[in-house]
């Protein structure tokens, strides 16, 4: 009965569109009252949920992403991508995807990626003759790279929820899957561009290309500093995030000089708003996860799934479908905190490595961010383009199919995720 009250009240609150943080907190409190658990215990679990050194990296990564979005780095990354892939047919779509790959490796956020790259690329693609639907489709699907390619703050949340899985291994594990995802999206976009006869990009002179590469190099160094420092053990993920934020500020304020102190104050306000939302969700999710553990929900679900079949293929397909379905109705951070303790024991029993499962989970929930009815990245893309969600959802079909096929590849080919972390960290 306690588990029924916990899950049922959460679903009820979500149906009446109560904010996710309040839904998780209230369902935990109601269930605790039914189980005669003191309210102070729920409060303690909420505090414990955010009292983690690893989580200190999140505000710094959010701040670094905000600085780069406002300080001109996103535009330079677009110009840099244009030098590499802009001249082929459908070149602006390729530029969009490659820019998202670079920016995702700095901001670590799908929504930030869409907000920064989309405001530039969507109007530019429309002006060059691309359909509005296609422009939005490319922008939001390529932004899913941001939750896979390091530094992804969602991977830090997963590390905490999974009991301390190495952040360095998770970051390394996301590099190859993130790059391959971008290449796959480029191939799909190329064939769609040929089918719809989209234009080729303009040729850029060698002199201009060298200037663009030089201007964008300092921005790209942010991702190199973060990855190099964490992987080589020079500093922790939290320290790397702080250094990245300081470096981003120095580059945008003193080198590029495209951000005033007044704009920087707004960056701090935006960061605080995002951080308040993320940390409140983490806090209430921790209380909810405690109640699930107290009621033995993870053990019950694990035993149930394993009792259905011991077939690894079937179990992993089922888990992917569960994550995809949940990603359509709930935000990413709470889902990571709630589902990781439930599903991680199941996948480890059938032989999946926790690092691989982390990357698979990120892609699953990343797809959820671009899927109605709750996809936040989908909403941002539609609002930038001024188009309805219904139109975009229909035109996204080929992208959804491609993403699902790629998800299956990540699930059943572990070396795509594990080869690089095993080579670097274990070597």
Does 289 score more than 70 pLDDT? Answer: yes
Closest CA to 91 of 105, 81, 101: 81
Q: Given pLDDT bands bounded at 50, 70 and 90, which one contains residue 127?
A: confident
Q: What is the dihedral of CA 270, 274, 276, 277, to 10 degrees?
A: 140
C-alpha to C-alpha distance for 424 and 353, rounded to whole angstroms: 17
pLDDT recorded at residue 106 = 64
Residues 427 and 422: their CA atoms lie apart, in Å, by 7
Contact between residue 358 and residue 158 where contact means Cβ atoms under 8 Å apart: yes
**CB-side exposure of 24: number of CA atoms within 13 Å?**
27
Alpha helices, DSSP H, located in 255-388 = 261-294, 297-308, 312-327, 332-349, 354-368, 376-385
pLDDT, tens digit (0-9, with 9 covering 90-100), for 17-66: 788 888 888 999 998 998 888 888 889 988 887 887 777 778 887 888 77
Residues 76-104 have pLDDT tens digits of: 878 888 888 777 888 888 888 888 887 77
What percent of the chain stands above pLDDT 90? Answer: 15
Which pLDDT value is given to residue 231? 67
Burial class (CB in 10 A: 0-12, 13-18, 19+), 77: buried
Encode pLDDT of 393-410 as tens digits. Answer: 888 999 999 999 999 999
Contacts for 149 with CB less than 8 Å, ≥ 6 apart: 101, 104, 105, 108, 174, 175, 178, 179
Tell me: cis bond preceding 373? Omega within 30 of 0 counts: yes
pLDDT for 64? 80
> Residue 357's pLDDT is what?
95
More confident call, 9 vs 215:
9
pTM for this entry: 0.81
Residue 109: which residues within 8 A CB-CB, separation 6 or more? 61, 62, 65, 146, 147, 153
Confidence category of residue 427, pLDDT binned at 50, 70, 90: low
- What would the mean pLDDT of 162-180 be, rounded to a whole number? 88
């Amino acid at each position: 009965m306690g588990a029924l009250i916990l899950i049922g009240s959460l679903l009820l609150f979500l149906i009446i569109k109560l904010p996710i943080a309040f839904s998780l907190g209230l369902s935990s409190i109601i269930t605790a009252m039914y189980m005669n658990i003191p309210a102070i215990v729920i409060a303690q679990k909420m505090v414990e949920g955010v009292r983690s050194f690893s989580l200190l990296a999140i505000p710094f990564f959010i701040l670094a992403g905000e600085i780069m979005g406002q300080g001109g780095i996103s535009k330079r990354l677009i110009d840099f991508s244009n030098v590499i892939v802009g001249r082929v047919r459908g070149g602006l779509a390729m530029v969009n995807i490659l820019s998202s790959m670079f920016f995702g490796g700095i901001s670590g956020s799908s929504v930030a990626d869409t907000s920064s790259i989309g405001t530039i690329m969507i109007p530019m693609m429309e002006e060059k003759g691309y359909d509005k639907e296609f422009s939005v489709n490319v922008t939001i699907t390529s932004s899913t790279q941001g939750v896979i390619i390091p530094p992804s703050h969602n991977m830090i949340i997963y590390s905490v929820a999974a009991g301390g899985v190495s952040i360095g291994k998770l970051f390394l594990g996301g590099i190859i899957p993130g790059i391959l995802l971008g290449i796959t999206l480029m191939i799909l976009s190329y064939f769609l561009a040929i089918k719809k006869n989209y234009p080729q990009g303009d040729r850029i002179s060698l002199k201009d290309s060298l200037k663009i590469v030089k201007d964008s190099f300092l921005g790209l160094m942010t991702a190199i500093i973060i990855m190099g420092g964490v992987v080589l053990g020079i500093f922790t993920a939290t320290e790397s995030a702080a250094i990245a934020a300081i470096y981003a500020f120095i580059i945008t304020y003193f080198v590029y000089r495209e951000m005033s102190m007044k704009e920087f104050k707004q960056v701090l306000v935006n960061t605080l708003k995002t951080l308040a939302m993320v940390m409140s969700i983490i806090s209430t999710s921790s209380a909810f996860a405690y109640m699930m553990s107290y009621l033995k929900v993870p053990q019950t679900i694990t035993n149930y799934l394993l009792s259905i079949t011991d077939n690894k293929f079937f179990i992993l397909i089922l888990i992917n479908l569960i994550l995809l379905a949940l990603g359509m109705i709930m935000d990413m951070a709470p889902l990571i905190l709630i589902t990781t303790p439930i599903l991680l024991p199941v996948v480890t029993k059938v032989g999946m490595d926790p690092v691989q499962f982390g990357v698979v989970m990120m892609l699953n929930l990343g797809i959820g961010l671009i899927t109605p009815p709750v996809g936040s990245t989908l909403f941002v893309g539609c609002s930038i383009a001024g188009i309805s969600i219904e139109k975009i959802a229909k035109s996204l079909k080929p992208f959804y199919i491609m993403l699902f096929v790629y998800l299956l590849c990540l699930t059943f080919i572990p070396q795509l995720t594990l080869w690089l972390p095993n080579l670097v960290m274990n070597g």
